Structure 1
Amino acid sequence: MLQALGISGPAEGAYRALLRLHSATAAAVAREVGLGTAAARRALGELTEAGLAEYQPGRRSWQPVDPRLAVTALVRLRRQGLALAELAAARLATEYDDGVARIRPSGPAEALSGREEIAARLRELLAGAEKEILVIDAPPYVAAEDSLRFGEAALARGVSCRTLYTAEGLALPGAVEEVRRMAALGERARVLDAAPVKLIVVDGARALLPLSAASWATLPDAAEEGPRPAAGPGGAAAPAASGASAASGTPEGPGAVLVRPSRITDALVALFESLWRQAVPLSPDEPARGSTLDSTGERELRDLAMLLAAGLKDEAIARQLRISQRTLHRRLARLLAELGASSRFQAGIQAVRRGWVRD
C-alpha cells in the first residue's frame, strides 16, 4: 500500500507493527514482523526519515505518527514531485523537439520509408494522443496484419476514438466480435461501402497515411503504448493483394507520409468528418427493450441487422457469421418476424427504432 509512496515493503511492515504496538524497540518490531534486528533497525530508520515514526532516545524505542497526518503529508509531497516531473517533461520535450527539428525535414509533411520507421512514428503519434484519434480502416488488405486496431490504450487514458470501417473490412471473419469488443471499450464506429484512403489523424493536428497499398502491411509492433495491430479488423487473415511482398514500402522510396499541423491536416479532418456523416453507425451490444428473444438469439439478430445495414451481400454476411446460406435465410426470416417487418427495408427501419442500428 505504502510502496506507491516510496516506502519499502519491510518498512511498511514495521510501520504496521508500530501501529499495533504503539511503541516498540527494534527487537520487538523484529519479532513482530519476522525480520532480523539489523533489518528492523533499517526499516525503522526509513520510517523516521519519511516522517512515519519518531525515535524516543530515553526508551530506545519508536512510536508511530498518526497515519492521517503522516501518510497525508507523504501524498502531498508525492503530488508536488509529480507536478515538478511534469514541468521537467515539458522542458525535456522542448529539447527533444529542437533536436528532432535539426535532423528531420521541415515543412507540413515528411515522407517515411521502411517498416521500422513507419512503426516508430506510429507509436510516437499514438502515444502523444490527448483528445481524439480518427481512423479510416480501409482496404486493400495486403497482409494478415494490415488492418490496424486502434484505440485500446488511448481509450483507457480517456482519449476519444472514432473509426470508420469499410464493408469489405467488416466482412472479414471475426470483424463483428472485434467491433463489439472495441465498442465495449468506448470506441465509436461506423461503416462505409468504401473509403478513398487509409488514414490516422491525432488531435486534429497530425496525420499518418500510406502512399501505396503495401505501405502498412505487417507492422506487428506498431503500438506498444497505443493500440496494437490486428489481422484485419477481427484478427483473421485478410485477402492478399499485389505488392504484399513489399511489406512497408521499398528501400528506394517512401511508404507513408506524416503530416504536421497545416491546411493539409485540416483537409484530412474535413474528409473524415464528411465520410463520418455518410457512414452507417454501428450499434453497441446492448439488450433491446421489448425483445422476446434470449440474449444469444438477440445477439444473432442484432449482428445480422448490423451487417445488412452495412450493405454486405448475403454471401459476405454468411461468411462473417460463419453460417450457411440456408441458415442465413432462416435467420433473416426470424429477423423479419421479430421486427414485424415484411421486407428488408422495413426491417432496417424497425432495427433503428429498436436501437439495434443507429440512424
Structure 2
Amino acid sequence: MTDASHAEKARHTWTLYARMYERGESLAEAAEHLGLAAEELSRAQAGLVRLGLLDTETETTVDAAAALARGLENSHRVLDRLVEQHVMVASLAQNYLGFTRHANDDLRVEFYERERSAALNNRIDELADLAQLEVMAMHPAANWTPERLDADDTRTRRHVGRGVRVRALHAQVMLSTPMFRDRLRARRDEGMEIRVAPVIPTRMLIYDRQVAVVQADPEDLERGAVLIHGRDVVRSLAALYEFCWTNASELVDVPRSADDAALTEQQRAVLRLLATGAKDDAIARSLGVSTRTVTRLVGELTAMLGSGSRFQAGVRAARLGWLD
C-alpha cells in the first residue's frame, strides 16, 4: 500500500471517530453522513478497534485518554505486544487527545436507562482508568453475583496498584453473606478502605471529586443511573459521602457480625431494653426469665460489643444495626 493510501486510510479513521465522538452518532450513522464506501468503512472500523477507540459490542466510541491509559498499562505487562502498543499510544497522543466533549458550562448530566447498562459499565470502566487520586463508592444492600464481585475486584486492584485511594461504604446487613464478607476482608487486606453502616442512602461512585455516578431512583435499583460532570455539584455529593463515612464502622468494629454469628431473638430483646436503661430484674420480668439468666446474657453481650457499660452496649448495638 502506498503512502497516499496509508494517509487516506488514517484520514477516514480519524474522521469517523471525530463524527461519532462529537455528535454521538452510531457507526452506521456516521459512515452514512461521511459518505464512506463499505470497504472504507471496514478499514476505518478496523483501525478504531486496533487503537482501542471503538467498543465492538455497543459500537460506541471509547474516550481517547482512557484508551491511552489502557494501552500504556498493557504495554508494560505484555512483552510480546510491546511494539504494537507503543505504535498505538503514539497514534492516540498525536491524533486523538485533542478531543473534548463540549458543554455549555461546567455541569453536564448523562442519563443511562436500564437498557443502556452495557454502555454505563463501559463509562464506569473509563472513569476507573482515568482516576488519579481517589475513588469513593457507596453500595446499599444488593444481590451481588460472583461475576460482579470479580469485575469490582479487578477495578479495585487497578486503582490500588496505581496508588489511587479507594474507599467503599457497604450496607452492614451484607456481612451476613459469607461470600461477600470474605470479599470485603480480602479487599481490605489488599489496601482498600472499607466501612459499613446500617443505612446506605443510595448507590454512588465518585471519581477524583469531579465526576459522580448516582443511582437514578434510590427506591429502585433497576431504574438506571445518572452520570454527573461538574466540580461544584460533585463536591456536594462528596460532602454527603464524607458524612456517611464518618458515621460508619470499620469491619473490625462490628463485633462478631463479621464472623456470621447471628443474635438470638432473646439477645435482641435484652439489647433493646438495655438501650432504655432497664435493670436486670425489669428485663427479667419483661421476658419472663430469671434475673440470673438476664445477668448472664448482659455479661455476654457487653463482652461481645466491647462496651464499658450496659447502657453503652444497647446504644452501640442499635448504631451497628443489630436491632433492625
Shorter-chain TM range is: 0.3 to 0.5
- Between 1 and 2, higher relative CO (CA 8 Å, sep ≥ 6) is seen in 1
Which has the higher Rg, Structure 1 or Structure 2?
A: 1
Give the number of the structure whose residues are more often helix, by fraction: 2
Tell me the TM-score normalized by structure 2: 0.48
